[in-house]
Amino acid sequence: MNIHIPRKRFGQNFLVDPNIIRQIIQAIDPKPDDAIVEIGPGLGALTQVLLPMTKHLTVIELDRDLISPLRMACVDLGELIIHQADALKFDFSTLETSNKKLRIVGNLPYNISTALIFHLLTFQSLIKDMHFMLQQEVVERLAAAPGSKAYGRLSVMVQYHCQVEPLFQVPPTAFRPAPKVYSAIVRLTPYETPPYHAENPELFAKIVNQAFQQRRKTLRNCLKGIVPIKCLEDLGIDPQLRPEQLSLKNYVEISNLTPN
């Protein structure tokens, strides 16, 4: 039997702890008619539990060396559809079904997790929810409140699109090989209607991005050239504040008042 050696370039850390697997499955609470898509199934730790429960599962795996072992591990468990592809470039709209939104799950490689979440948000209308294993620091950033060190562009942008629920911590010992950091499970549920509406989503994203690129500067300086000082003053926002002191609502209001 060939033993797969985890590849550093793919950020592979395989989940091996049955108790953690059980907790993840409980959090997902899969139903037989769910349209579940697993990103990076690896050796199939979650796949082999999900597939018998749903009878039908789509997975996206970049490492072609894992395809055959995964298929073998899941034989007779249900219908497994494997896309050998890079999830960062994958068109998730090709998986759309007429009456079911996608439920995305995955143990995401640390080196692509943020980029992949932003990619998935471009398909927000097709997605019911997402359950991810991420580096704990990333989960803290996703859920961070204004004024905290972890609060930044990722917090604002993801919280604009989704309800963020950190679920539980996962120790390094749950993986092979063991990473050097703790992980955590998070649930992201895209809003049908966002709590705050940005009239120009591209401008909103641009303002948030520019603000946090220079987060140590005041709003007066870091938003220079894109947001007139008068917009901040009209909203009662002190231009001497720093980017992490503003709420999601503040950023949406600023973008809605800023001339395009």
User: In sequence order, what DSSP letters do the residues of 26-74 get, joined into one string?
Assistant: HHH---TT-EEEEE--TTTTTHHHHHHHHSEEEEEES-GGGHHHHHHHT
Q: What is the pLDDT of residue 255?
A: 98
Q: What is the pLDDT of residue 6?
A: 43
Give the global pTM.
0.93
C-beta separation of 189 from 129 below 8 A: yes
Question: Helix or strand or coil: residue 129?
Answer: strand
C-beta separation of 175 from 40 below 8 A: no
What residues have CB less than 8 Å from 110, skipping those under 6 apart? Answer: 11, 134, 135, 138, 179, 181
Question: Helix or strand or coil: residue 247?
Answer: coil
Edge-to-edge strands of the sheet including 127-135? 79-84, 56-61, 35-39, 102-107, 127-135, 183-190, 162-170
Q: How many CB atoms lie within 10 A of CB 197?
A: 11
Tokens encoding 78: 């249900």
Which residues in the chain land under pLDDT 50?
1-11
For helices 113-121 and 136-143, give the axis angle rounded to 10 degrees.
Answer: 40
- Enumerate the domain spans of the chain: 8-190, 201-257
**CATH number belonging to the domain at 8-190, selected among 3.30.60.50, 3.90.930.60, 3.40.50.150, 3.30.1600.10:** 3.40.50.150
CATH 1.10.8.100 for domain 201-257: yes
Give all strands (DSSP E) within the chain, no chain letters. Answer: 14-15, 35-39, 56-61, 79-84, 102-107, 127-135, 162-170, 175-176, 183-190
Question: DSSP letter at 249?
Answer: H
Tell me the H-state helices in 55-135: 67-73, 113-121
Q: Provide the CB-side half-sphere exposure for 189 (13 A, CA).
A: 9
